[in-house]
Amino acid sequence: MTQKTTYTGPKIALYQPDIPQNTAAIVRTCSCLGVRLEIIEPCGFFLTDPRFKRVVMDYMDLSSIKFYKSYEDFNKAKKNQRVILATTKAKDCYINFKFKKNDTLLFGRESSGVPDKLHKSIKYKIKIPMIENKRSLNLATSAAIIISESLRQILY
């Protein structure tokens, strides 16, 4: 099913991403699904990084990405919106969560997640259930799984 290019639905936000290939894969996912991407800086790489450019290919459209200079700026902008943190430390499974149209799905750094203070301040937290003794899925994979469920609930 082809969607028109609008950004009125759920969004993906990346907290200080540090692996260019994962961010590029998420850019592609967002581009193909019509989802706005938000990046909370500082970013751990430059958008001119060859590893980023190799994966993002021609899917990069800076006008579809919103950058925040800090988490504080992001938090102010989201004052009246739900932010849902995807974390392996959550109790609630993403499938049981009731997504809303203007939700922002927040994903932490690949190397360290989000700081404890930030983690504690976010009301909504979800996880993807995994086999025992596994640390985590790839960030781009996690973002694709959760945004797909969110879109399924909202659009279909």
Q: Is the pLDDT of residue 9 over 70?
A: yes
What pLDDT score does 40 carry?
Answer: 97
Q: Is the pLDDT of residue 56 over 70?
A: no
- Give residue-wise pLDDT tens across range 112-152: 889 999 999 999 999 999 999 888 899 999 999 999 999 99
Tell me the C-alpha distance between 56 and 17, whole Å.
15
- Give residue-wise pLDDT tens across range 78-115: 999 999 999 999 999 999 999 999 999 999 998 888 99
Under 8 Å between Cβ of 107 and 142 = yes
Tell me the C-alpha distance between 121 and 1, whole Å.
37
Whole-prediction pTM value? Answer: 0.89
Query: Where are the chain's structural domains?
Result: 11-155
Rg (CA), the chain: 15
CATH of domain 11-155: 3.40.1280.10
Query: Average pLDDT for residues 70-78, to the nearest whole number?
Result: 96
What pLDDT score does 59 carry?
Answer: 64
Q: Residue holding tokens 């581009």?
A: 31
Q: E strands along the chain, which residues?
A: 11-15, 36-40, 65-68, 83-86, 92-93, 104-107, 124-127
pLDDT band at 1 (very low <50, low <70, confident <90, very high): very low
What pLDDT score does 144 carry?
Answer: 97
- Give residue-wise pLDDT tens across range 11-46: 999 999 998 888 989 999 998 899 999 999 998 776
pLDDT band at 64 (very low <50, low <70, confident <90, very high): confident
Nearest Cα to 55, choosing from 18, 17, 86, 29? 29
- Give residue-wise pLDDT tens across range 146-155: 999 999 999 8
